[in-house]
Chain A
Amino acid sequence: GDSVTQMEGPVTLSEEAFLTINCTYTATGYPSLFWYVQYPGEGLQLLLKATKADDKGSNKGFEATYRKETTSFHLEKGSVQVSDSAVYFCALSEGGGTSYGKLTFGQGTILTVHP
């Protein structure tokens, strides 16, 4: 079945540092890929998405490119802020109109940014 693997955490950075969180996936067909973020005490919210190969999703300074050849969707940000401290989840859904609102999630990566 489909699966998503994220880099081991937690990740601790200083403010303005460069961030990369690795994500690789296994799926049949042509999945859509997502990054969700969970701030303390809250539910998940969509950060960015890409629905086909070579698409780049971006939002709030975060970027990720859908790489079919390496089955990857790594999250990057050039300069993190303390307010970016959260848990980040990589996820996929089946493409082709059959996902029915279901996602397969990675295990999550805890990011802590210090001033």
Chain B
Amino acid sequence: NAGVTQTPKFQVLKTGQSMTLQCAQDMNHEYMSWYRQDPGMGLRLIHYSVGAGITDQGEVPNGYNVSRSTTEDFPLRLLSAAPSQTSVYFCASSFDGAGNEKLFFGSGTQLSVL
């Protein structure tokens, strides 16, 4: 099984550019989420989805959009990149929404905004 696949692994953007971080999972998980990881701050939730067609905001949603047209895919869009969005981004999925089961994480996208 591939698990959770994120692309690209590395990306450099200029301020104001837009881009989409891709995330796909092949485990038929209903729940998917995006986190950003910054030094000294752990991981913070950006957006999450409880199923196809349903998304909601997390702790730090500003500057990001998501959509969930299929169970497998959950892309994260940066509308107009800013230096404050320089971070490592992780996509995660889980089968259970009750909070008792583990999240499966992708290997991350390291984004630099100049």
From B31, B44, B94, B107, give the contact of A42 (CB < 8 A). Answer: B107
Q: How large is the interface on A (under 10, 10 to 19, 20 to 34, 35 or more residues)?
A: 20 to 34
Residue contact B42 to A100, C-beta cutoff 8 Å? no
Task: Spot the interface stretch: B14-22, B60-68, B75-83, B95-103.
Answer: B95-103
- CB closest chain-A residue, reference B3: A43
Q: List residues of B (8-53) whose CB comes within 8 Å of A's CBs.
A: 29, 31-33, 35, 40-45, 48, 50
- CB closest chain-A residue, reference B96: A101
When chains A and B are docked, how far (Å) is the Cα of A46 from the Cα of B95? 14
Residue contact A106 to B58, C-beta cutoff 8 Å? no
Question: Given A44-B90, A49-B102, A97-B97 in contact, is the A105-B42 Cβ separation under 8 Å?
Answer: yes
Asked whether B71 is an interface residue with its Cβ less than 8 Å from the other chain, the reply is no
Asked whether A26 is an interface residue with its Cβ less than 8 Å from the other chain, the reply is no
Residue contact B42 to A43, C-beta cutoff 8 Å? no
From B50, B90, B108, give the contact of A100 (CB < 8 A). Answer: B50
Cβ contacts under 8 Å, A102 to chain B: 33, 45, 48, 58
When chains A and B are docked, how far (Å) is the Cα of A89 from the Cα of B103? 13
Residue contact B107 to A101, C-beta cutoff 8 Å? no
Residue contact B99 to A95, C-beta cutoff 8 Å? yes
Residue contact B45 to A103, C-beta cutoff 8 Å? yes
Cβ contacts under 8 Å, B41 to chain A: 107
From B31, B32, B42, give the contact of A108 (CB < 8 A). Answer: B42
Asked whether A93 is an interface residue with its Cβ less than 8 Å from the other chain, the reply is yes
The smallest beta-carbon distance between A15 and chain B, in angstroms, is: 27
Residue contact B99 to A94, C-beta cutoff 8 Å? yes
When chains A and B are docked, how far (Å) is the Cα of A87 from the Cα of B45? 18
Residue contact A100 to B100, C-beta cutoff 8 Å? no
When chains A and B are docked, how far (Å) is the Cα of A97 from the Cα of B50? 12
Residues of A participating in the B interface, judged by any CB pair closer than 8 Å: 4, 6, 31-32, 34, 41-46, 49, 51, 89, 93-108
What are the 6 A-B residue pairs with the smallest beta carbon separation, nearest first? A101-B31, A99-B99, A43-B105, A93-B99, A105-B42, A46-B102
